[in-house]
Amino acid sequence: MNIEWYPGHIAKARREIKEHLKEVDIVIEIIDARCPLSSIDFLNEEIKGKKRLLIIAKSDLVSRDDIENNIQIIKDKANDDIEVLSLDCRDNTIKRIVDKKLDILCDFLYKKYEKKGISNIKIKALVVGMPNVGKSTFINSYIRKKVNKVENTPGVTKKLQWAKVSDKIYLLDTPGVTVPKFVRSDVGINLALVGSINDDIVDMESLAYEFIKKVYKKYKALFIKRYDLKDFDDEDPLSVMDAIARNEHIFKKNNEIDYDRLSKLIITDFRKGRLGKISLE
């Protein structure tokens, strides 16, 4: 299954983000805890040389062990200019934690301003990330008021917009952007599964099949519990889908399995965490 999604509004957003990079001191990059390695570094070349705070969002949907493993992989590949946080961005108590990390990254700026005798320091941070990873949710929780519209669909933020955190910190929110071409086919699949790619351009039946193929063996117990598969002992993805359909009574009027409705159920259960804590990587 090969998925590519790079519409015109995303290409435009990437150009605008690149133009604003020279104005900012820090880049805050939001990635999805369920596929952090697929949703990271999409602006790698453009943000080289910028200090970055990497926030692993939706961490409540993944086990702590999976998060720690992926953080280690990220740190092994990253440089000293990156700080990493794992957060549930719906929690409006995150401000103290984020401020502490920003202070670490901005220490060089504070010292530079002090040498110049400047006390009125203003830090400008650019917030970037793939569509639907939680940028607006993060900003709303960090500022502790509703600034941006939040929906569980890609493309809600349409334009770049500044938000004031305090007299010292300003955030520039940006539309979610993908890359022109994914380096591996599984990157596109992972991003489609977490909702970073518009569902309208994805074959949902194939996506559900790929999801079960990818995670069923590792998370078999979660599927058994969610769909009552205790008497089922086949790991073939299509057989698993058929078993779920039978147990959930997902049939058309002619008693054939309704694979469209079944696929949407499985993917929605994953996205909403109803299946349990599942990492795609």
Q: Is residue 195 part of a domain?
A: no
Q: Residues 16, 76: one domain?
A: yes
Provide the pLDDT for residue 2.
Answer: 87
Are residues 240 and 136 part of one domain?
no
Res 145 pLDDT > 80: no
162/37 same-domain check: yes
Residue 229 maps to a domain: yes
Together in a domain, 161 and 211: no
pLDDT at 40: 85
* Model confidence, pTM: 0.88
Percentage, residues of the chain above pLDDT 70: 91
Asked whether residue 142 falls in the same domain as residue 27, the answer is yes
Which neighbouring-strand residues pair with 82? 52
Q: Are residues 13 and 148 in the same domain?
A: yes
Going by pLDDT thresholds of 50, 70 and 90, the confidence category of residue 54 is very high
Same domain, 168 and 216: no
109 pLDDT higher than 80: yes
Asked if 154 and 207 sit in the same domain, the reply is no
**pLDDT interval class at 192 (50, 70, 90):** very high
Whether the predicted pLDDT of 248 surpasses 90: yes
Could you tell me if residue 181 is left (phi over 0), alpha (psi between -120 and 50 degrees) or otherwise beta?
beta
- Whether 187 shows a pLDDT value over 60: the answer reads yes
Nearest to 256 by CA among 266, 243, 248, 245: 245
DSSP 149-186: ---SSTT---S-EEEE-SSSEEEEE------SS-SSHH
CATH code, domain with 34: 3.40.50.300
The pLDDT confidence band at residue 44, using thresholds 50, 70 and 90, is low
Q: Residue 253: give its domain's CATH number.
A: 1.10.1580.10
pLDDT at 83 over 60: yes
For residues 139 and 89, state if they share a domain. yes
Q: Taking 80 as the threshold, does the pLDDT of residue 199 lie above it?
A: yes
**Is 186 domain-assigned?**
no
Which tens digit of pLDDT belongs to each residue from 153-169? 554 455 788 888 888 88
Question: Does residue 279 form part of some domain?
Answer: no
Amino acid identity of residue 242, one-letter, is D
Q: How many domains does the chain have?
A: 2
* Contact of 59 with 87, CB cutoff 8 Å: yes
Domain of 260? 203-271
pLDDT digits (tens, 9 = 90+) for 85-108: 998 888 888 999 999 999 888 888
Mean pLDDT of the chain: 88
Query: Do 75 and 127 fall within a single domain?
Result: yes
